[in-house]
Amino acid sequence: MLRRLFFRGLRGVYTLPYVSICQEKLQQLRRVWGDSGQSASLAALRIEAFHSNASVDKEGVIGGWTAGVDVAIGTLEKVNGMVNRLVSQADSSTSNVGTVIIDELHMVGDEQRGHILELILLKLMLFAIGRVTSASSGELYQLQVVCMSATLPSLDPLKSWLLEADVYTTEFRPVPLEYFVKVGPRLHSGDLDRVVREIPLLQGDPDRITALIWEVAQEACAVGYDAASNATGVIVFCATKAWCEKTAVHVASTWPGVPWDLDDTMLRGRHQALDILRSCPAGLCPTLEKSIPKGVAYHHSGLTMEERRVIETAFRNGHIHTLCATSTLAAGVNLPARRVIIRSLQVG
């Protein structure tokens, strides 16, 4: 995408399924590509997000892709509208698109919105074929469509459907992924063929959930990680919103503490999060008021967008080490975690 922007003047579209991920990708690309005022920025590109919560642009169009926007990040519905204008050539702002990235391609099988992604891909393929066959100049216009997914079970049918697309696969992970199963006080290997170890028992923690979280903090302290590195991040997935809040209270009340809890930067970060939450229209939840000073918070649909943003930022910064969340967090937000605990295989 960047190469086509610089050397051919062709703009890019980045498609994501959810508003929250669009906003996250917007901040990420602005840090590395945008004019952020930092020397680390790679280029002064204008990057904008287009979704249902998008603000009105200078031309007064909600979600309008003006000529000055180099990269558009949008939800399926917004990108579908952009592709419609691209195919019909009714809007000059979409006439010089060179790269379309489709992230989370497995959404094509979603019962509710999969048909939108299928339509986007079909129109892009037909448009690309038409532009190539009708080109009269020596240099053919070529639209590059890049589809990505980490969970697709079979690539061959999609490869054939996408006009024999090139396939690139990798199993590289920056952090090795290990699976364990907790049965009673013991931790078993993922295939349950052996007992790995017994989980230590902390006071007031019969389920040993706090102990599993505390282990991560202890290991990080032992190797000298800085608190801001978020090396202690743990996400606990719970079946219901009530269970999330109950787990957050439990972990906070049984947390033994680590040296980081007394760090000035850590204390300021947690107090700042509390102050921002306190200023929100709904006020500060009593549960969060008790849990955040211990580095614990919950995350579910009962929180406003502003409250979620504050909690997610505090977690990324390492000020919150444990996030108790429903499964919607996994679908809508990418957060770094050293350990993930799934308390129940049931949802709701």
Share of the chain above pLDDT 90, in %: 43
Quote the tokens at residue 77: 């519905």
**The residue type at 2:** L
Q: Is the dihedral of CA 69, 70, 71, 75 positive or negative?
A: positive
- When pLDDT is averaged across residues 107-122 and rounded to a whole number, the result is 93
Q: What does the pLDDT read at residue 332?
A: 65
pLDDT score at 330:
72
User: Is the pLDDT confidence value at 229 over 60?
Assistant: no
CATH fold group of domain 1-162: Rossmann fold (3.40.50)
* pLDDT tens, position by position, 124-138: 988 877 665 554 444
pLDDT for res 327: 81
The Cα 215–Cα 119 span in angstroms is 47
Condensed to tens digits (0 to 9), the pLDDT of residues 162-201 reads 888 899 998 887 778 899 999 999 999 999 999 999 999 9
Domain 1-162 shares a fold with domain 181-342: yes
List the one residue out of 67, 139, 119, 61 whose CA is nearest residue 96.
Answer: 67
Cβ within 8 Å of residue 138, ≥6 positions away:
none
The pair of three-digit structure tokens given for residue 31, joined into one six-digit string? 């840090």
Angle at 217 between CA 216 and CA 220, to 5 degrees: 85
CA–CA distance, 280 with 277 (Å, rounded to integer): 5
| pLDDT tier at 56, thresholds 50, 70, 90 | very low
Q: What is the pTM of this model?
A: 0.77
- Domain 181-342 coded CATH 3.40.50.300: yes
C-beta separation of 19 from 113 below 8 A: no
pLDDT value for 117 = 95
Lowest mean pLDDT of 43-47, 267-271, 283-287, 339-343, name the range. Answer: 43-47
**What's the pLDDT score for residue 176?**
80
Average pLDDT, the chain: 84
Q: Is 21 exposed, middle or buried (0-12, 13-18, 19+ CB in 10 A)?
A: buried
Residue 265 buriedness (CB in 10 A; 0-12 / 13-18 / 19+) = middle
**In the chain, where the domains are located:** 1-162, 181-342
Q: How far, in Å, CA of 117 to CA of 122, rounded?
A: 9
Average pLDDT over residues 299-303: 90
What would the pLDDT profile of 63-100 be if each residue is shown by its tens digit?
456 767 889 999 999 999 888 888 876 555 556 888 99
Residue 156 pLDDT > 80: yes
Per-residue pLDDT at 75: 93
- Contacts of 224-232 with C-beta under 8 Å, sequence gap 24+, read 227/260, 227/263, 227/265, 227/266, 227/318, 228/265, 228/317, 228/318, 229/318, 230/315, 230/316, 230/317, 230/318, 230/336, 230/338, 231/318, 231/338, 232/258, 232/260, 232/318, 232/321, 232/338
Q: Residue 126 class from Cβ within 10 Å (0-12 exposed, 13-18 middle, 19+ buried)?
A: exposed
Q: Supply 225's token pair.
A: 């990680």
pLDDT at residue 231 above 80? no
Which among 133-147, 288-302, 332-346 has the top mean pLDDT?
A: 288-302
